[in-house]
Amino acid sequence: MLTGKIVKQFEIDGEKIVFRYPRMSDLEGLLELVNAIVDDKAMVSSQAKKTKKEERMWLLSILKNIKKKEGVYLVVEMNGKIVGNAAVERHKEPAKKHVGEFGIMLRKEARGKGIGEKLLRCVIEEAKKVLKVKIITLEVMASNKVALHLYEKCGFKVIGTIKSGVKYYNRYEDDILMVLPVS
């Protein structure tokens, strides 16, 4: 069982960083994470705070997907506190089971330290091993230049743009589609 399994450990600036699979006991930490991301107005699709019940339902579905090998999901701990996560979820359509969709979020205190790049590379490796995906896709807002640079640095290529494809609070943002062949 992958629940709680540590995938990578390292130190950055004296901070102990752990990438591991989630467990049900992470509920409070994950709820704090998503709500902090919403408070920061980080450039992710979550724009409304979650309730404990909503987060519990989401976590149960994630744990189920991990067990069925439909997704890999890693939490990031910094000195024991959950400060981020990343996932690759297998496409639901049978004809697209070889495609995984990537997502990531990091709290402010974990950004700008190289953790995001390490996490991205780590979750891709897990997706190749566990899910056997051949292609990983992602979507990113055009104004999120830091994320765009990271994804390009890790080999993702822009394949298209949906003009005004994301409503980010009260404005529309272009949605950039990126792809990474991994086989």
Question: 43-99, pLDDT tens digit by residue?
Answer: 887 788 999 999 999 999 999 999 999 999 999 999 999 999 999 999 999 999 999
Question: 98-114, pLDDT tens digit by residue?
Answer: 999 999 999 999 999 99
pTM: 0.93
Burial 146-177 (b: 16+ CB within 10 A, else e): ebbebbeebebeeeeeeeebbebeeeebebbb
CA distance 50 to 14: 32
CB atoms within 10 A of CB 141: 18
End-to-end CA distance of the chain: 25
Question: 115-164, pLDDT tens digit by residue?
Answer: 999 999 999 999 999 999 999 999 999 999 999 999 999 999 999 999 99
